[in-house]
Structure 1
Amino acid sequence: MTFFQSKLRQLTAATVGALAVMSATPALAGVIDFESVAPNIYGGTEVITQSGYSLTVIDTPAAGPGGTGFAGAIGDGSDPFLCTVAACPTGNASQFYLGVNDGSLRVTRTDNHLFQLTGLDYAFLAPVGGLGGYTYGQLTLVGELSNGTKVSYAYDFPVLDSLGYSPFETLSLTAFGGNYFSSVTIGSCLFDGNGGCASPLAGAENQSQFAIDNLQVTPVPEPETYALMGLGLGLVGWMSRRRSRAASAARTNIVANTIAA
């Protein structure tokens, strides 16, 4: 084998490796739906893993970022005994995440690379049943970019129905989802009656609560993957042109030999 052939084989192997990485990447993409995790309750700092992502429960703000109090749960919407002291959201018979007691949830990729969050299903977890048909607060999203800059958005919770329950709704994160994040922290706040939204609301601690499901996440391929892919495409193009020139030369020789004969 010549030196050139050896290098060509190495480049081909690198290209195949890049293609394998890119074809494997969508395994991280898709939906975090909490279906592969058994229903359970979680304290602050506990981590839930699913589909290549780590979901860290945060017990805040009263207990501080290192608090370990009850701050989250995964429940089954088809279980009639899921909520005995609160008003569970309606319209979701699958498993979903419940952020309770002013807690929040931090989403990262398990490999610590960047990702996008482009949509989710959400609802308000009312602290008691029978509340009036209003919206009581907002779902809050704080995404951290690779340079440490934070991007924040807030979305009003659905209006409670006539029985005081919050229906699940699908939220398309058009602006927020266009960013590449190292982490996204999902939380909630309550309207204070003066045009603001706070967590915890003075005199109403542990009532900033939410429910989420079907997080639409997409991993961002690393630059070296694109570089290898570009190298592979360039190699394929070069080989194609080389073969084309060789075939053309062969046809010319055949024609020349035929005329000479």
Structure 2
Amino acid sequence: MNRLSHVGRRLAAALSLCCAAPVMAAVIHFDSIGPDIYSSGDVLQVSAYNLLFLADPTSAAHGQSSGVGAILDGRTNSSCDIAACPQGATGNYLAILNDGGVQIARSDLHAFTLAGFDYSFLAPVSGLPDQQWGLLQLSGVLASGQVVTASLAFPGQDIDGNYYFLGASLPGALRNQVFTALTFNACTYNDAGLCSNSVAFPAFNQAQFALNNISINAVDEPATSMLMLAGLAAIGMLSRRRTLHRLQGA
């Protein structure tokens, strides 16, 4: 029995090493993509990731498409006309407009973890008073199929009256989680104090935000690891059978 226990410990240790899949770090930024606009249903591929643009709730409920995304140049003040573009970007960034959203997934369908990102409120008009207008909302689908959600308060205005990008402090619900898809959208506070962006409580095209420098660690799952797992399991079963056979013959 001691030999069986020893084999079991070795097998468990080997399995734990195989299950600790390697990670490949990447930062999604938009400097290599020219300024452009996107409608819901469009997919923007950046590096090994697909960014799917999502319609606002009302358009989605009626099966309609809507303009919800744009790549804007943070170095050019003319990128925004009426809306108040956030400041602080050294290049291009992703703007999500008109109550829309964006979903990120790897093009190879592998899982990933979220390490951080920069974000800002994108005010529908300039000159708004400095107050908390809404929240950035995140919804992640885990490898297990479970969905986890979290929200972040938008950074307020600086002393110059402009909104600036801020590095996100990840909520606990998102740390060290392995995702297959991650969705960003926003809500705005209504007169009742409810932060909403839904068919019942629309945000009236004011739930807008900007993202940049999305740091993601891809969890690779090479076929060799799966083969090693299968081989180790077979060795463990064979060792167990031999040990039991010896005990029965004793």
Q: Please classify the TM superposition score into its range, dividing by the shorter chain length.
A: 0.7 to 0.9
- Tell me how far 1:195 sits from its aligned partner: 4.1
- Alignment equivalent of 2:141, drawn from 140, 144, 159: 144
Q: Which has the higher contact order (CA 8 A, sep 6+)?
A: 2
- Alignment equivalent of 2:190, drawn from 189, 192, 195: 192
- Alignment equivalent of 1:48, drawn from 44, 52, 62: 44
Q: Which residue does the alignment assign to 1:18?
A: none
Structure 1 window deviating more from structure 2 (41-50 vs 61-70): it is 61-70
How big is each residue's C-alpha offset from its partner over 1:3-40, in whole Å with a ceiling of 9 and x where there is no partner?
Answer: xxxxxxxxxxxxxxxxxxx99x73xx310001221110
How big is each residue's C-alpha offset from its partner over 1:174-215, in whole Å with a ceiling of 9 and x where there is no partner?
Answer: 521311111001011112254431115847511100000000
- Tell me how far 1:143 sits from its aligned partner: 0.2
- Alignment equivalent of 1:181, drawn from 156, 164, 179: 179
TM-score normalised by structure 2 residue count? 0.76
Describe the shift of the 1:67–1:203 C-alpha distance in structure 2 as closer, same or farther (beyond 3 A): closer
* CA distance in structure 2 between the aligned counterparts of 1:168 and 1:60, rounded to whole angstroms: 23
Does residue 104 in structure 1 map to residue 92 in structure 2? no
- Tell me how far 1:135 sits from its aligned partner: 2.0
Superposed counterparts of 1:94-173, under 5 Å: 94-162=91-159, 164-173=161-170
Does residue 34 in structure 1 map to residue 30 in structure 2? yes
- What SS is found at the alignment partner of 1:185? strand
Q: Which residue does the alignment assign to 2:218?
A: 219
Gaps of 5+ in 2: 1-20, 231-250
- 8 Å contact 1:131–1:163 — kept in the other structure? no
Q: Which residue does the alignment assign to 2:59?
A: 63
- 8 Å contact 1:97–1:213 — kept in the other structure? yes
Equivalent position amino acid for 2:221 in 1: E
- What SS is found at the alignment partner of 1:81? helix
Gaps of 5+ in 1: 1-21, 232-261
- Tell me how far 1:147 sits from its aligned partner: 3.0
* CA distance in structure 2 between the aligned counterparts of 1:213 and 1:117, rounded to whole angstroms: 13
What is the percent sequence identity of the aligned residues?
36
* CA distance in structure 1 between the aligned counterparts of 2:196 and 2:185, rounded to whole angstroms: 11
* CA distance in structure 1 between the aligned counterparts of 2:125 and 2:145, rounded to whole angstroms: 38
Equivalent position amino acid for 1:32 in 2: I
